[in-house]
Amino acid sequence: MADDWWRKAVVYQIYPRSFQDSTGNGSGDLRGISRRLGHVADLGVDAVWLSPIYPSPMRDMGYDVSNHRDIDPMFGNLKDFDALIAEAHRLGLRVILDQVLSHTAIDHPFFAESRQSRGNPKSDWFVWADGKPDGTPPNNWQAIFGGPAWEWEPKRRQYYFHNFLTEQPDLNFHNPEVRVWAADTLRFWMNRGVDGFRLDTANFYVHDAELRDNPLDERAMARPTLRTYDMQFPEFSKNRPEALEVMAELRAAVEPMGGVLIGEIGESHHPIERLADYTAPGRLHMGYHPEMMGATFTAAHFRDQIERYYALNPDGVPSWAFSNHDVPRHVTRWASHATDPESFAKLCAALLLSLPGSVCLYQGEELGLPVPPLSFDELVDPEGLRFWPENPGRDGARTPMPWEAEASQAGFSTAPKTWLPVKPVHRDLAVDRQADAPDSVLSFYRILLAWRQTLPAIGGMQVEFLDLDEPLLGFRTGGLLCLFNLGCGEVTVTIPDALKADHVQYAVTKEGRCHLGPNGFLLARLIT
């Protein structure tokens, strides 16, 4: 396989707790994933990304790690992991592990030692600071999950910094020992056969050493924010230039072993610029930001994201995505633009899979799964529990995968109760109901992924956008003409006469014109 496979890769994200339960305890595990990898391979993707599987108290569903070099018993053990790697490679799938290096769980042995005193070997592995003379925190930084980003530790008589939950202290990447440990952790998993890593919150790794206050976020808001975090421009609590040095060091650690790094760049201020910075030569192989996973669904928005990225980093590789475990599923998030759920799911697939660069699909996306209704008593996500009902949290994107419509828990588990519920709306879209239906969303994803594989240059193709009015998006790339009607009305556009349509939905071409019905699209090859 080519060393630069990642330039046009399609990566399939698996949320392990919700993919397949092999033990009957209501929660997914590694053996369950191994059992279902055939489904992923049949889709035609290049790699799987596993969300965290490390030992964890699960306060943030595994993104609070207490041991970065082992497997949580909930998911199995290292032997099960090795078997999963072997099965994935047998099926031609690479394996990307989620790595949470910016912080640990409060239960991590490193933090347990660090908090004891100011002079122990791990004392400077986390971000500690004295309070102000009046006892208040060192500065005004706020945490993602609400409230100040500082917590008082009586043993040290100091505050520690946490970007997320109070129980998720941030590691100190100004400390060279922490950087060495992070690189060695990646090598540990590479030696077990892992092909690369998704770096959680990559732009959060480094804080301002001077602990300067963040300035006010002066952007106009449609309504008051729920989170104090959103009231600031996080200029000093993250996005520090030293983080780019860390990315280069981590790449240097894994690249000789054939490893690839995908970075999550969580940023609403200048997100495209940050993505371009982090994927510049010698840093992350590819990266993504959340701008295509928000509420905006317009031709202008998609064009702006793509054009501006390549203008800033013409040789970079973005990883485009519409959904993941942190956001509502896109068929629900953008439902107001849909004529019917199935056609809309196909439109989104056609748009995403025709983009140059890398693409990430989230489990269940290939089924057109919506966000199911959940009540407060069914939630486990700390974000939803904190901000309900205005923000119901992330559980709606994390419910179990439906495999067999009529089976117990839709084939996910034999347990009478699963960690998140299986809802009827998902049973109706189960894999077994779609697998052999030629017009299903699942069948369309398989067809389109096979088509994408016939476009060897898609990893580095330039995009030329057509100047079209909303809601029509159109571009030429690598000998293709791609047109998408993002609205619920009908549109007609002039097109070249010499083309061969590969895939269409509600599209009719005749005499140099293309008529697109609601949510229609045309993917065609230009004949020269």
Which positions ≥6 away from 309 have C-beta within 8 Å? 272, 275, 276, 316, 318
Can you give 458-510 as a three-state secondary structure string? CCCCCCEECCCCCCEEEEEECCEEEEEECCCCCEEEECCCCEEEEEEEEEEEE
Q: Report how far residue 325's alpha carbon sits from residue 323's, in angstroms, rounded to the nearest whole number.
A: 7
Q: Which of 29, 46, 80, 264 is catalytic?
A: 264
216: DSSP letter: B
DSSP one-letter code for 369: -
Output the six-digit token pair for 22: 């092999």
Number of H helices and number of E strands within the chain?
Answer: 13, 17
Which residue in 29, 151, 200, 342 is the catalytic one? 200
Radius of gyration of the CA atoms of the chain, in A? 23
- The widest CA-to-CA distance across the chain, in whole angstroms, is 79
Distance CA 510, CA 528 (A): 18
The side-by-side arrangement of strands in the sheet containing 358-362 is 286-288, 260-264, 196-199, 94-99, 47-50, 10-14, 358-362, 319-320
Helix, strand, coil in percent for the chain, rounding step 5 = 30, 20, 50
- CA 352 to CA 452: how far, in whole Å? 11
Residue of 528, 519, 355, 515 whose CA lies nearest to 448? 355
Which own/partner contact pairs does 147-154 have at CB distance under 8 Å and 24+ positions apart? 147/228, 149/237, 153/115, 153/128
DSSP 4: T
Query: HSE (CB half, 13 Å, CA atoms) of 455?
Result: 28
CA distance 278 to 238: 13
Whose CA is closest to 317, among 355, 349, 354, 347?
355
Q: Length of the chain, please?
A: 528
Q: What count of other Cβ atoms lies within 10 Å of the Cβ of residue 498? A: 11
State yes or no: is 439 an active-site residue.
no
Strand partners, 482: 475, 523
Q: Structure tokens of 187?
A: 């090598």
Known active-site residue 200: yes
List, by residue number, the catalytic residues.
200, 264
